[in-house]
Amino acid sequence: MRDTIRFLKGGEIIELENVGPTETLLDYLRLRRRETGTKEGCGEGDCGACTVALGRLVDGKLIYQPVNSCILLLGMVDGAELVTVEDLEQDDRLHPVQTAMVDLHGSQCGFCTPGFIMTLFTLYHAENEEKSRKNVTDWLAGNLCRCTGYRPIVDAALQACFEATDDAFSWRSNDTREKLQLLADSRDIFIGDSESFFSAPATLDGLAVLYGQHPEATLIAGGTDVGLWITKQLRDLPKMIWLGRLEGLDRVEESPSGVLIGATATYQTTELAMTRLSEDLGELWKRIGSKQVRASGTVGGNIANGSPIGDTPPALIALGATLELQSGDGSRALPLEEFFIEYGRQDRHQGEFVTGLFVPRLSSNQAFRCYKISKRFDQDISSVMGAFRFTIEDNMIVATRIAYGGMAGTPKRALNAEKALTGASLDDPSTWGAGMQALLSDFTPLTDMRASAEYRMETARALLAKALMEISGTAPENVRVLTRREADNDRAA
């Protein structure tokens, strides 16, 4: 047991005994350290002004990820190297990304700039990144700028971020690796007392015991949802259990039958496996939140919280994913769609936690499509999310799984449409109408700030039609506005 957190900053190991259960990293930086370079823009992880970098060892490699410090708990920095904008200058010399931003006029009001600098710093250190506008804008999607219109910032990234690393962090990377290895241990962390604590068990058994003792405690994985309970809902969450130290729970295992995603695997670490499952799924993954959100946010956490803000569950449901849960009493598995009972209510028993998710691979006679409709292309939440898996024999649909988001209080299968489409012919669009019609009986969507009920229903039908058009090849031309794949060619630098 350890009653401190330890991390690296500016080459020094910092050990803190005093860590509040809901204390954010941003408050620690600004209020306790009086390092005010890191800014608060929105307090909910959407604007990126508070971006800092966390360096961690992944398979022995030092990887820097951008994170939103406003919704990241201080305790979650344990074991990492924390890099803020104050750390970049060396001997009064600007870092290459800072120089590029000055030279190319990448700042105007300057308030968002430190956040951009830190995201650019992580891109500078990332390996095997494609030098393209498309890739840069994907990296920058979590940093909002209201002044520049982004062009000079994208140019600065293209100028500075794809050169061989040559900064203080690369020079001392061996030392950093050694120090991070020193910090790595397999002890449980518990700071506080039985009434109020921040804890981070290192084993599943340890978690089961602790959670059994404190079933009202808050489980936090990436914090991209729980963080807002703290900063926006101002909830009192005196007992915090961070899952980030659980060994093996962040695994991503690919097999011929499918992909097993551990509960604390992030969107970032699962992206490649998802792309291999389906190109559309990979596209969808890139449009979940932002780099910062995907670096912290976990697929399991998004499901476990039953967050209505979830664009992945419809796709995972259509693919036939199953969810695995565990408690002190044992474990069980269930089809993902059965986990979501109604808005705000999931099939998770007291003391039970999600351990993983299994997503089966498509068989050779299956076709999959998913579409995310949102007001903004990147870092937005869908108004309608449609996912379709068709099993096809002799150009006849013999089985379907269709799931939508934004059409009900939970991600939900379109059972009537699935039924109506079984037996439809890909060669004969007139056999598709019944499926589209059936959506009317599957869903009664609501009107909210993202879209009206009418638009949602119309679009749900359009997406089904689009999926069928694409799969059947009846549409002679492209039926999507600029996709990322095309953008690759168009925007190649």
Q: Which of the residues 242 through 261 are near other proteins (CB under 8 A)?
A: none
Q: What share of the chain is helix, strand, coil (3-state, %, to 5)?
A: 35, 25, 40
Q: How far is the CB of 464 from other proteins (least distance, A)?
A: 10
Q: Tell me which DSSP letter residue 86 carries.
A: G
Q: How far is the CB of 371 from other proteins (least distance, A)?
A: 8
Binding to other proteins by residue 465, rule CB under 8 A?
A: yes
Binding to other proteins by residue 3, rule CB under 8 A?
A: no
Q: How far is the CB of 467 from other proteins (least distance, A)?
A: 11
Binding to other proteins by residue 459, rule CB under 8 A?
A: yes
Residue list 147-176, contact with other proteins (CB under 8 A) = 147-154
Give the number of other Cβ atoms within 10 Å of residue 391's Cβ. Answer: 16
Contact by Cβ (8 Å): 408, 384: no
* Cβ partners under 8 Å of residue 93, min gap 6: none
Binding to other proteins by residue 42, rule CB under 8 A?
A: yes
Q: How far is the CB of 292 from other proteins (least distance, A)?
A: 12
Give the residue carrying structure tokens 């002044």: 147
Q: How far is the CB of 4 from other proteins (least distance, A)?
A: 23
Binder to other proteins among 165, 458, 488, 493 (CB under 8 A)? 458
Distance CA 42, CA 29 (A): 16
Give the residue carrying structure tokens 């890139």: 286
Binding to other proteins by residue 450, rule CB under 8 A?
A: yes
Q: Please choose, out of 56-64, 198-206, 334-342, 465-473, the segment that lies near other proteins by the rule CB under 8 A.
A: 465-473
Residue list 341-400, contact with other proteins (CB under 8 A) = 371, 373-381, 383
Contact by Cβ (8 Å): 307, 299: no
Q: How far is the CB of 176 from other proteins (least distance, A)?
A: 21
Distance CA 65, CA 118 (A): 9
> What would the two tokens of residue 244 be?
């980030």
Distance CA 175, CA 19 (A): 27
Cβ-based nearer residue to other proteins, 94 or 396: 94
Binding to other proteins by residue 278, rule CB under 8 A?
A: no
Dihedral sign, CA of 151, 164, 68, 204? positive
Residue list 64-123, contact with other proteins (CB under 8 A) = 84-86, 88-89, 94, 98, 101-103, 105-114, 117
Binding to other proteins by residue 416, rule CB under 8 A?
A: no
The closest of 21, 153, 129 to 76, measured between CA atoms, is 21
